Each structure stands twice: as structure tokens, then as C-alpha cells.
Amino acid sequence: MVQQLVTKGYKPEKVLAYFEELCKIPHGSGNEEAIAKYIENFAKKKGLFVIRDANNNVFIRKEATEGYENAPAYLLQGHTDMVCAKLTTSNHDFERDALDLYMENGWLRARGTTLGGDDGIAVAFMLALLDGEIENHPTIECLFTVEEETGLGGAESFDYSVVTAKKMINLDSESEGEVCAGCAGGVRSKIDFKPTLEASSGDVITLAVDGLFGGHSGVEINCGRANAIILTSNMLSEIAKEQELALVSIFGGEKDNAIPRMCEAKFVVEDSTKAVEVIEKFDAQIREGLCESDAGLKISVSVENDVEDVKTLAQSKELLDMTGSLKVGVLAMSAHLEGLVEFSRNLGVIEVNGENAYITYSSRSSKEEQIDLSITQVDEQVEKIGANVRHTGRYPGWDFLPESDLRDTYVRKFKEIMGVDVQTVVIHAGLECGIIKSRISDMDIISIGPNMRNIHTPDEALDLDSCARLFEVLKAVLSEK
């Protein structure tokens, strides 16, 4: 018996059917082999030119239809990996389970987990176009890259000598009414050290922060959403001002490019009553400044009194000093483009226990010198704690060009079909466009996508009516000679 599509009745039917197929295949960052094989087999069945490289990037070419042989080729591009985030109550296994899809008022969602609309909808768009959803077109080349969410590794490793197109449409944006024409660059800083343990005795407190909204650490870094790791660290620092505090463990966050929604710390103090009073006071104070999205904040505390010989972290003070000294969130706004974040840093993951200590920061900026500054600042703090740091996945920004034939075509077609103007934007998030532009310097690039909300969180949702509208605009652009 053929399973009925969750998206039955919505258009574009072939796009959404492919998207549902993709949602059955686990494809978190670093686990893209199965989805790459799926795309490769699709191309072979359709008789299309296809390359799957050693890193599981896939490139497909569909030749021009009659009458379009001399029209400029287009490169369509998106990534196959998704951010795997879930509610603490979810038992979903991202290595094995299909996503549990459902509809809510025209929006497609996944129960308890991220949906992977970022960037599965790009993959579905491209597969549908390659499968005949556009009648007349020039040569269409499609590039499906891996590990975008963990440092743009696929785009960095791909051999672009196979690409013939000089016009590129990246399909990794999340707002139908915008055409993106520039983005920030960035770097990830991965810190680790071997904990030095010592014996402590006293009251053992477990502090849990949960229920924050989180979000994309680039696109939504200026939304005022709280960082669960920073909230937890700040509470611990406040307690440490009044009495000695020794960490047993602290863990929080899921991805370095997502604002952490939860964090839990276990620590030892002499007087748990005073410590709890500090936490309660801090709780009351921070709620006054929380944005509406973080209204679900929950802070819980449990206490074990008079515990002997607890193994604690000798570097507790240094660790809290580091998390307190390295500012996160928006560090600078653009002086040239109103409302654009120019420089930011996110503390995305912390995992410290008796055996290992691992912390990741993600820095973004449209200026290379600010990325350099963030690296220097991280290095200075890491040296104080005697830890190791690796700065990985650095990628260039994508500079805004005042003139773009492709952008002009898209703006015109959008107005013809939608009846309204599309807004040209530059974003603070990182896109693969910067890397591709650095490899093919004369490539004319735009980035578009249907309406999505709350990407990188379990509240992620994809607007299906927007998918239908944007797909028509995309086809109109590709069909123009």
C-alpha cells in the first residue's frame, strides 16, 4: 500500500513529494552519504550527467532544451545536510529515524525535531526541475553540497572545474520576499582541555536552564534571544562571588551555529541555601529582560546536602572567567546598511565532565579583520585556562555588487508573477556563495528561498504556499532566454 503524502493537496506536488522522500533519509551534517547516493541514483535513472565526489558532493547537468542551446547556463545550488536539534522530551534518533512530518495551518513541521527545510527544500526544488517540472530551459547544472551547517566543508572541497555556468541561484534563503545579494564570512573555534580533578565536599547542586527559544546564530543573533549557556555561566559566577564554587560538570547547546536553548550544571558549594537564593534572585531579574520568544524559560534546582569526596574541576574559576569574558551576541552593527549585524559571536556548545572539556564558539563578520580579532580574543582566553583551540571552517563573505544582471532578472520576474517588489538584502548568516564566488570570480549570484521560520530549532516550519509561489518565479527566471 502506497503511503499517502502528508503534503497531499499542496503544490508543487513533485517538489513536495521529493521533500517527503528526503525526510525519510537521515541526513545530519557528516551523515550525507545515503542522501548523496539517492541523488546520484536519481540522476542515473534519468540519464543525466552526474558526479559524486569522495566527500559526497553531487553535481548534475541537464542539457538545454531545443531553442535554448545558446542561452547562458544556470547553476542551482543547495546543501544536503540539516541541523539535528530536538526537544529534550523527544526520543528521535537522527542517525536512524525518518522525520515525523505533520501539517499545521499550511506550514509543514516535524514532531519534536528540526524539519530540515534548511536546506532540504533546495534539494527538492532541484530534483523536481531535473525531473521535468520545467518545459523550456537552458543548460541547468545542480550542485548538492555537504556539511554546510558545520563549516561549509562541501563547498570548500568541491572541484569547480566541471561547472560551465556563470549565473548561480543559491536556494538556501528563508524569506520569499527577499533576494539575498551578500553575506558574512565566519570561523568556528573549538576549545578542548583535559580536566584536572580534585576532591570537594559540601552541598551538590544541579542547576538546569531549559525552555529558551534558541535559533540561528547568524540570522537571529539580533533577535534578543537568551543563550542558555551564558545564563547558566552568569548564575554560577554570581554564586562564586559569595562562596567558593567547584564544578562537577556542565553541558549545554547542540550545535555551534545555533543559539543554545538548554544548559545543565552540577557543582559543589558550602552553603546551598545561599546559592539557591542567588539563583532565585537572578531568575527574577533576567525574566524582566527576556524577549517574548523566551517566555518559556524554566530554571530548576535540586540539592544534595553534605556530600563527601566529589570529583570537581580544578579549572572551575578559569572556565567561568572565560565564558564571562568572551562576549557573545551582536558585537557590532554595520555603519553602511541599516539593521545589518556586522560582527557577532555565539557560544554554541559546552560539554565539561570529569574526563573531557569541549567548548565551541562561532564568529561571523563581513570584515576579515573582525574575524581575525575574534580569533585573537579567543586565543587570549584559551591561553589563560591552559586549553587547546582549533579555528576551523573559516569561510569568506560574499560582497554585495551594485550591478547584477541575474538579480535584475529575478526582481523583474518576481514583480510580474507576485505583483509586488522583492527586497534586496545582505545577511549576517554564512552562505556557500562566498566560497563559490572565490572559486569562480565572474559568477553572478543571488540567493532565494521560500518562507521558513525558526530554522535550527524544533519549531522549524516550512510555508508550503510560499514554496509554490517561489517555484513559479524560479521557473520563470530559468525559462527566459
Q: Give me the DSSP letters along 390-416.
A: EEEEEE--B---S--HHHHHHHHHHHH
SS3 per-residue string spanning 122-173: HHHHHHHHHHHHCCCCCCEEEEEECCCCCCCHHHHHCCHHHCCCCEEEECCC
Q: What is the pLDDT of residues 130-146, one digit of tens each?
A: 999 999 999 999 999 99
Would you say 439 and 154 are in contact if contact means Cβ atoms under 8 Å apart?
Answer: no
Residues forming the active site: 81, 148
* Residue 188, beta-bridge partner list: 362, 392
Query: Tell me, what's the pLDDT at 61?
Result: 98
For strand 258-259 and strand 452-453, is the pairing parallel, antiparallel, or unpaired?
unpaired
- Burial state string for 138-176 with b = 16 or more CB within 10 A and e = fewer than 16: bbbbbbbbbbbbbbbbbbbbbeeeebebbbbbbbbbbbb
Q: Give 379's contacts (C-beta < 8 A, 6+ positions apart).
A: 389
Cis peptide before 119 (omega within 30 of 0): yes
Residue ranges covered by each domain of the chain = 13-184+397-479, 188-395
Task: Identify residue 390 by its one-letter amino acid code.
Answer: R
Burial class (CB in 10 A: 0-12, 13-18, 19+), 445: buried
CATH topology of domain 188-395: Alpha-Beta Plaits (3.30.70)
* Block residue for cell numbers 526520543: 91
For strand 298-313 and strand 197-210, is the pairing parallel, antiparallel, or unpaired?
antiparallel
DSSP 311-357: EEETTHHHHHHHHHHS--EEEEE-SSSTT-EEEEEEEEEEEE-SS-E
CATH of domain 13-184+397-479: 3.40.630.10
Task: Identify residue 448 by its one-letter amino acid code.
Answer: I
* Block residue for cell numbers 544541579: 206
CA distance linking residue 257 with residue 114, whole number of Å: 14
As a residue count, the chain comes to 481
Q: Grid coordinates standing for 17?
A: 513529494
Q: Grid coordinates standing for 432?
A: 556557500
Question: Is 13-184+397-479's fold the same as 188-395's?
Answer: no
CB count within 10 Å of CB 124 equals: 26
The candidate with the shortest Cα–Cα distance to 432, out of 72, 176, 158, is: 158
Would you say 121 and 138 are in contact if contact means Cβ atoms under 8 Å apart?
Answer: no
Cα within 13 Å of Cα(295), Cβ side: 2
Would you say 426 and 232 are in contact if contact means Cβ atoms under 8 Å apart?
Answer: no
Query: Tell me, what's the pLDDT at 1?
Result: 34
Query: Could you list the mean pLDDT of each consecutive 10-residue stretch along the chain, which spans 481 residues?
Result: 82 97 98 98 98 98 97 98 94 98 97 97 98 97 95 94 98 96 94 95 97 91 96 97 97 92 98 97 92 95 96 96 95 86 96 94 92 97 94 90 95 98 92 95 97 94 98 97 85
Query: Tell me, what's the pLDDT at 429?
Result: 85
CA distance linking residue 110 with residue 115, whole number of Å: 5
> Roughly how many angstroms between the first and final C-alpha of the chain, as a whole number?
44
- Burial state string for 33-67 with b = 16 or more CB within 10 A and e = fewer than 16: eebbebbbebbeeeebebebeebbbbbbbbebbee
* Residue 329, beta-bridge partner list: 345
Cis peptide before 12 (omega within 30 of 0): yes
Q: Using CA atoms in the order 463, 468, 471, 473, what is the torsion angle rounded to 10 degrees?
A: -110
The candidate with the shortest Cα–Cα distance to 365, out of 357, 375, 354, 355, is: 375
